[in-house]
Amino acid sequence: MKIPTLSGVRGCVQITVRGEGINRLINALAEAGIPVWDIRPASNNQTADMKLLLRDFHALRPLLKRTGCRMHVARRIGLPFRLAKLYKRKFFAAGIGAFFLLLFVLSSLVWNINVVGNEKIPTEDILKAAKEEGVRPYQWIFRLKEPDKLSRALSLKLPETSWIGVERKGTTITIQVVEAEKPEKEPLASPRHLVSKSDAVITSIYAEQGRPLVQKNTRVKKGQVLISGILGDGEARSQVVVAKGEVKGLVWHEYQLEVPLVQKRKIYTGERKDKSYLVLGNRAIQLWGYGKEPFAKSETLTERDPLTWRSIALPIGWMTEKVMEVTETQETLQPEEAKKLGLEAAIRDILAKYGNDSQIISQKILHEKRENGKVYMKVLFEVEEKIAEELPIVQSQGE
Partner 1 sequence: MTRISRRLRKWTNEVLDLPQDVLLDLPRITLVGNKELTVENHQGVRHFSENKMILSLNQGVLEIEGAELMIRAILPQEVMIEGIIRNIKYTGMGESS
Residue closer to partner 1 by CB (options 74, 313) is: 74
- For partner 1, the closer of residues 35 and 134 by Cβ is 35
Cα–Cα separations (whole angstroms), residue 354 to 192, 217, 386: 21, 20, 8
Instruction: Indicate left, alpha or beta for 119 from its phi (over 0: left) and psi (-120 to 50: alpha).
Output: alpha
Q: Nearest distance from residue 1's CB to partner 1, in Å?
A: 5
> Which range, of 25-33, 272-280, 335-343, 374-382, touches partner 1 by CB under 8 A?
25-33
CB closer to partner 1 out of 42 and 262 = 42
Nearer to partner 1, 27 or 172 (CB): 27
By C-beta, is 1 or 394 nearer to partner 1?
A: 1
Cβ of residue 91: shortest distance to partner 1, in angstroms? 41
Q: How far is the CB of 38 from partner 1 (least distance, A)?
A: 7
- Among residues 8, 9, 20, 40, the one that binds partner 1 under rule CB under 8 A: 40
Q: Is 241 in the site for partner 1 (CB under 8 A)?
A: no
Q: Out of 10, 14, 16, 35, name the contact with partner 1 by CB under 8 A.
A: 35
DSSP string, 156-221: HH-TTEEEEEEEEETTEEEEEEEEPP-PPPPPP---EEEEESSSEEEEEEEEEESEE---TT-EE-
Nearest distance from C-beta of residue 46 to partner 1, angstroms: 10
Q: Is 38 in the site for partner 1 (CB under 8 A)?
A: yes
Q: Of the listed pieces 24-32, 58-66, 163-171, 240-248, which binds partner 1 according to CB under 8 A?
A: 24-32
In angstroms, the CA 121 to CA 180 distance is 10
Among 10, 16, 26, 289, binds partner 1 (CB under 8 A): 26
CA 309 to CA 316: how far, in whole Å?
A: 11
321 neighbors 311 (Cβ within 8 angstroms): no
Binding segment for partner 1 (CB under 8 A), chosen from 1-9, 246-254, 271-279, 386-394, is 1-9
| 160 φ, ψ (degrees, to nearest 5) | -80, -5
Cβ–Cβ < 8 Å for 113, 138: no
Of 42-50, 231-239, 316-324, 352-360, the window that binds partner 1 (rule: CB under 8 A) is 42-50
Q: In this structure, are strands 211-212 and 225-228 parallel, antiparallel, or unpaired?
A: antiparallel
Among 6, 9, 42, 307, binds partner 1 (CB under 8 A): 42
Nearer to partner 1, 26 or 361 (CB): 26
Residue type, 326: V
Residues in CB range of 83: below 8 A, 6 or more apart: none
> By the 8 A CB rule, do 232 and 358 touch?
no
In the list 13, 15, 48, 338, the residue contacting partner 1 (rule: CB under 8 A) is 48
Q: Which residues contact 274 (CB under 8 A, 6 or more apart)?
A: 288, 289, 320, 321, 322, 323
Judged by CB, which is closer to partner 1: 21, or 165? Answer: 21
DSSP letter for 398, please: P
Residues 50-109 that bind partner 1 (CB under 8 A): 50
Q: How many residues does the chain have?
A: 399
Strand order in the sheet with 192-196: 211-212, 225-228, 192-196, 388-392
Q: Using the minimum distance from each CB to partner 1, give the nearer residue, 39 or 121.
A: 39
Please report whether residue 5 would count as binding partner 1 according to CB under 8 A: no
Contact yes or no for 275/288 (Cβ under 8 A):
yes
CB of 69 to partner 1, least distance (A): 12
The answer to the question of residue 36 lying near partner 1 (CB under 8 A) is yes
Cα within 13 Å of Cα(70), Cβ side: 2
Least distance CB 58 / partner 1 (angstroms): 20
Residues near partner 1, by CB under 8 A: 1-3, 22-23, 26-27, 29-31, 33, 35-43, 45, 48, 50
